Chains A and B, each alone.
Chain A
Amino acid sequence: MPHEDDSGSAGRVATKERIETADTEASAPGLDTLADARHSTDDDHNDLRSLEAGLDRLQTAPERRPSAWRRFTTSVLPPIVFVVALVAAWQLYVVIAEPRPDIVPGPLGVVAAITQAWEAGRLQEAVVTSLERGVFGFLIAVAIGTPLGLLLAEVKPLRRAVGPIISGLQVLPSVAWVPAAIIWFGLTDATVYFVVLMGATPSIVNGLISGVDQVPPQLRRVGTVLGAGRWRLATHVVLPASLPGYVAGLKQGWAFSWRSLMAAEIITTGGAIGFGLGSMLDQSRTLADLAGVLATILVILTIGILIELVFFAPLERRMLRRRGLLVERGR
């Protein structure tokens, strides 16, 4: 790398050349004086370099990430302790008060119900069926919601017309679509997917819209100044900049898919519809098997939490950390 200045007194040559080609070494007259001048500017430059390096060091603090142990004690341990305490209190109540087991089953009864369902193979079937539907339905919602959200975010008249309705749809419980879906699609998987779609899409659309709205205007301006056209501005600047809002929308969209799916599965049983967790819940209810009902609720809850913990939380944390938006807890 050439670091030498064109020594100012020797006359600066105004050219459109790029930095690496700006070189006056060979042709410059008065080599001795020039060499001296260059020597001193070199020194100046080295001075500046070390000065800047020192200031940079002073002004930036190394990023401290909490240790694995600290993260364990601050974010993993507390919920585990709480759940253990809850189960212990429950067991204690069952032991002391001895309620009727068909009205208040103990933790052991619920565990037994889970084991029973597992051994019969019903649990695995239900989990696989529901997860498959949930994930597939969610992906369809993403595929529909993303272009729709982008369109609404960028085309203002369309947004004024459709935006409030999309926001309204977010408030409408998606179970409300079940009767209509049954009439349209009968007791088939299409009914379930339709309800999931109506539940998840508005969240994804709204998340993306708010993400795009929060893109700082100066980033767009810089994109324009750097020479990006409409398309490249969208792909290189607006989309990546709106990612936090989009991911938040996806997360909420997943929650809505999972909820809608359960609601749909509980209501629509029989016909060509497979056996999902909601169906299992409904089955336990008809058998007045409260331990089975609680067991299924626990499974549904656990899957919801697991997906959040394994998929969305790391994705979000990584994205926010890269942008310096994450305030590490436990400091």
Chain B
Amino acid sequence: MSGHTAIRIEHLGKRFGAGPLVLEDVNLSIETGEFVCLLGASGCGKSTLLNLIAGLDQPSSGSIETPAEGSAVMFQESALMPWLTARANVELALRLRGAPRSARRREALELLDVVNLADAADKRPHELSGGMRQRVALARALAQDRPVLLMDEPFAALDAITRDLLHEELERVWRRTGRTIVFVTHNVREAARLGQRVVLLSSRPGRVAGEWRIAETTGRRIESPEVAALSIEITEQLRKEIRRNAA
């Protein structure tokens, strides 16, 4: 770890209009190259937090520092342009980034190869499976070439087998590119499987309710005992947080 802080969030609060407080006094600092999972039940404002980090929304109070280059974002829906091929979708990101025309095609193919989709470069989104679409979306996010990659439940809509594979894929890409990744999920196992750090958010209003650091992150699988053990621990805390809403 290089010890640089990539994202620093201090006393962050957010409410929409006159509505209830969605986030309250969130403090979080994320190192460069760190893989952080934001975990929480529905309504904990994790997507809101991600949008704030992405700069798609403004905080009501507190501050967020992010790298000047900005962040790449990946959503739950792949949101690929349906009229463009996989390659053209990646090229669009390169183009909007300002990459020179001559390099776009080659670079797009390289990025698709990173997610093992070089063969499907000329297919359109509707010809791809859900997992393949998310991999194209990942390639597109990588094409943005930003130091931070924000992921909003990107694998939530996939079947378990595909999700497992994409976990491995994402881990590989992360190790290879050294991106700072903030991964939002409501799946405890997914968080325990992927993160170097798992941050639990409480609900209504969302605030940091717990944090776990994982020392050894190589060779983890969704079925690994250490992942299971951590999941149990986190789930316990999560349930405690949820129960508090019953009163």
A interacts with B: yes
Instruction: Tell me whether B217 and A13 are in contact (CB under 8 A).
Output: no
Q: Which residues of A contact B60 (CB under 8 A)?
A: none
Nearest-neighbour CB distance to chain A for B127, whole angstroms, equals 6
Q: Which residues of A contact B175 (CB under 8 A)?
A: 5-6, 8, 12
Give bound CA distance, A27 to B163, whole Å: 35
Give bound CA distance, A164 to B56, whole Å: 33
Give bound CA distance, A218 to B79, whole Å: 6
- Segment of B89-97, B201-209, B222-230 engaged in the interface with chain A: B89-97
Nearest-neighbour CB distance to chain B for A325, whole angstroms, equals 8
CB nearest neighbor in A for B3 = A14
Contact of B214 with A by CB under 8 A: no
Instruction: Tell me whether B81 and A219 are in contact (CB under 8 A).
Output: yes
Those of B125-145 within 8 Å (CB) of chain A:
125-132, 140, 142, 144-145
Q: Which residues of B contact A325 (CB under 8 A)?
A: 82, 126
Contact of A230 with B by CB under 8 A: no
Nearest-neighbour CB distance to chain B for A107, whole angstroms, equals 46
Number of interface residues of A (CB under 8 A): 48
A interface SS class: helix
Those of A31-64 within 8 Å (CB) of chain B:
45, 48-49, 51-53, 55-56, 59-60, 63
A19 and B131 in contact, given A222-B75, A226-B93 (Cβ under 8 angstroms)? no
23 contacts between A and B (CB under 8 A): A5-B172, A13-B178, A14-B33, A18-B145, A22-B177, A48-B116, A48-B165, A55-B131, A56-B117, A56-B129, A56-B131, A59-B131, A60-B132, A218-B79, A221-B56, A221-B75, A225-B54, A225-B56, A225-B72, A225-B144, A226-B97, A243-B83, A319-B83
Q: List residues of chain B with CB under 8 Å of any chain A CB.
A: 1-2, 4, 31-33, 54, 56, 69-70, 72-73, 75, 77, 79, 81-83, 92-93, 95-97, 110-111, 113-114, 116-117, 119-120, 124-132, 140, 142, 144-145, 147, 161-162, 165, 168-169, 172, 175-178, 180, 217-218
Q: List residues of chain A with CB under 8 Å of any chain B CB.
A: 1, 5-6, 8-9, 12-20, 22, 45, 48-49, 51-53, 55-56, 59-60, 63, 216, 218-219, 221-228, 232, 236-237, 240-241, 243, 319, 322-325
